A and B are shown apart, each in its own frame.
Chain A
């Protein structure tokens, strides 16, 4: 008793607090059990499952075209890319070659999705670190992409634009001009992002050297996406295993080697530039032709196992389908990027202060519904 009274907070033993499930900087219902000594993080134990909807199980009882509306709701910020993954897997299984037009439109839409996802990430990352202006600027520019989505697909985030065999509708006549307008607008705006946050001295102090992830650890933990490329792990599926129209464009893989919070940040900013380059290579060359392949009314996959991986805004998404020849899958498994990226948090935030944990988890860009599915 006397010992406790005489000691200060610093000297006391580790204690455990909850961060979440309703914490603003976990960006969803993620619960982190932190073990702290003073302000220093000793370990982070993520508890997941608060938004588990059983999407994989639900997929077993619905048909392949219907799965699209569920994958929309997994990683809602890369909804279009998730849909594309399922469609590509089904098309691979049926040996269907989609028209060139579909491939081009899918690629452009996927890159637009990537930009809007990174914009929202930039907005919320700035807000996590206390720069509230970023949030307004990020959402203001994201609105322009959402308007493009809304005009062509009818949905803003939940687009449901893909279907096995092509697209639900053709692109809107205004699509090309609007995308070009957006790119010329956003090329002027992105340097402002740098002025606001990237060059800020407070931001440098809070992000440089925080949460260092080495290349070996990135591979061992299965980290993918910009977080892994900031550590020097070349893992861009668009480059290594091109799907859709990515084999027709020149892609610069954004690579850094430091692997700290700051470089995970710059990797994403550079990805926005790169995505705009990809769109510019494609937008004027969309070939004429049909926007879907006529499929049978009931899509039945031949018996077997099929796997397709794509690069979402956060990393590699894998869709693994086992079919027993019926109209619905026997088993479907999504290898979601956020689930793998989450578990590195304990490793890279050890020894940092609790305020830096917010920066580190923000730089991993987690979307919780994709973790729980």
Chain B
């Protein structure tokens, strides 16, 4: 008799536990406000990333096409993967002195691990993280970027 009771009580508790789980999933069925899914490619226009999001390294330029990079090479030294390469040139300033300036600030996105050391250690805050995250390209060579815009110059007052 006891074993029969135990048998049926086990069935009862088994069904009860299963229904308990189903109640959770079922309750979400009637609470559409809890949906968190985003329709990603469709919501591109309204999608805003967090302001600190590490999408890619960029070099902000002002409206006069000037950047703050002096070509000191600290980002190049600090990068753990050799992502950054700085090619510098000598330019003549207005008072006739020769000065080092960047020719190309090469950034290899394919090698970057987004550790943030280049942005953090830059003494003149020339680098920043951009919000762009759709980096898929058809050819690997497109991932090698030159961060300073063509014809750009060093901002006045940055040493």
Q: Which of B20, B50, B78, B116 contacts A168 (CB 8 A)?
A: B116
Which residues in B have their C-beta under 8 angstroms from that of A199?
A: 17, 20-21
B4 is an interface residue with CB less than 8 A from chain A: no
Q: How far is the CB of B19 from chain A (nearest CB, A)?
A: 10
Q: Are B115 and A160 in contact (CB under 8 A)?
A: yes
Which residues in B have their C-beta under 8 angstroms from that of A151?
A: 50, 52
* Cβ-closest chain A residue relative to B80: A66
Query: Restricting to B48-64, which residues have a CB under 8 Å from any CB of A?
Result: 50, 52-54
A199 to B36 Cα, complex, angstroms = 26
If A152-B52, A200-B18 touch, whether A158 touches B117 (CB-CB below 8 Å) is: no
Which residues in B have their C-beta under 8 angstroms from that of A200?
A: 17-18, 20-21
A192 is an interface residue with CB less than 8 A from chain B: yes
Contact residues of A: prevailing secondary structure: helix
A27 is an interface residue with CB less than 8 A from chain B: no
Q: Are B24 and A196 in contact (CB under 8 A)?
A: yes
Q: Are A150 and B50 in contact (CB under 8 A)?
A: yes
If A150-B50, A169-B52, A201-B17 touch, whether A155 touches B114 (CB-CB below 8 Å) is: yes
Query: Restricting to A152-181, which residues have a CB under 8 Å from any CB of B?
Result: 152-155, 158, 160, 163, 168-169, 172
A168 to B53 Cα, complex, angstroms = 14
Q: How far is the CB of B49 from chain A (nearest CB, A)?
A: 8
B33 is an interface residue with CB less than 8 A from chain A: no
Instruction: Classify chain B's interface size.
Output: 20 to 34
B14 is an interface residue with CB less than 8 A from chain A: yes
A69 is an interface residue with CB less than 8 A from chain B: yes
Q: Are B78 and A195 in contact (CB under 8 A)?
A: no
How many chain A residues touch the partner (CB < 8 A)? Answer: 31
Which residues in A have their C-beta under 8 angstroms from that of B53?
A: 150, 154
- B13-47 CB mask vs A (1 if < 8 Å, else 0) is 11001101101110000000000100000000000
Q: Are A195 and B54 in contact (CB under 8 A)?
A: no
Which residues in A have their C-beta under 8 angstroms from that of B114?
A: 154-155, 158, 160
- A132-160 CB mask vs B (1 if < 8 Å, else 0) is 01000000100100010011111100101
Q: Are B14 and A201 in contact (CB under 8 A)?
A: yes
A72 to B115 Cα, complex, angstroms = 9
Q: Are B80 and A62 in contact (CB under 8 A)?
A: yes
Q: How far is the CB of A167 from chain B (nearest CB, A)?
A: 10
Q: Are B17 and A66 in contact (CB under 8 A)?
A: no
A68 is an interface residue with CB less than 8 A from chain B: yes
A65 is an interface residue with CB less than 8 A from chain B: yes
Q: How far is the CB of B3 from chain A (nearest CB, A)?
A: 18
Query: Restricting to A176-193, which residues have a CB under 8 Å from any CB of B?
Result: 192
Q: Which of A65, A133, A152, A195 contacts B20 (CB 8 A)?
A: A195
Query: Restricting to B75-129, which residues have a CB under 8 Å from any CB of A?
Result: 78, 80, 113-117, 120, 129
Q: Are B52 and A172 in contact (CB under 8 A)?
A: yes
Which residues in B have their C-beta under 8 angstroms from that of A172?
A: 50, 52
Q: Are A155 and B54 in contact (CB under 8 A)?
A: yes
A306 to B106 Cα, complex, angstroms = 38
A168 to B52 Cα, complex, angstroms = 12
* Cβ-closest chain B residue relative to A67: B80
Q: How far is the CB of B34 from chain A (nearest CB, A)?
A: 9
If A154-B129, A172-B52, A195-B24 touch, whether A140 touches B116 (CB-CB below 8 Å) is: no
Q: Are B23 and A160 in contact (CB under 8 A)?
A: no
A65 to B120 Cα, complex, angstroms = 11
Q: How far is the CB of B41 from chain A (nearest CB, A)?
A: 18
Which residues in A have their C-beta under 8 angstroms from that of B116?
A: 154, 160, 168
Q: Are A65 and B117 in contact (CB under 8 A)?
A: yes
Q: Are A195 and B21 in contact (CB under 8 A)?
A: yes
Which residues in A have their C-beta under 8 angstroms from that of B80?
A: 62, 66, 69-70
Q: Are B20 and A66 in contact (CB under 8 A)?
A: no
Query: Restricting to A86-141, which residues have a CB under 8 Å from any CB of B?
Result: 133, 140
Which residues in A have their C-beta under 8 angstroms from that of B20?
A: 195, 199-200
Q: How far is the CB of B37 from chain A (nearest CB, A)?
A: 9
Q: Are B52 and A66 in contact (CB under 8 A)?
A: no
Q: Are B13 and A201 in contact (CB under 8 A)?
A: yes
Which residues in A have their C-beta under 8 angstroms from that of B120?
A: 163, 168-169
* CB pairs A–B below 8 angstroms (7 shown): A69-B80, A154-B129, A195-B21, A196-B21, A196-B24, A200-B18, A201-B18
Taking Cβ atoms with an 8 Å cutoff, the residues of A that contact B are: 62, 65-66, 68-70, 72, 133, 140, 143, 147, 150-155, 158, 160, 163, 168-169, 172, 192, 195-197, 199-202
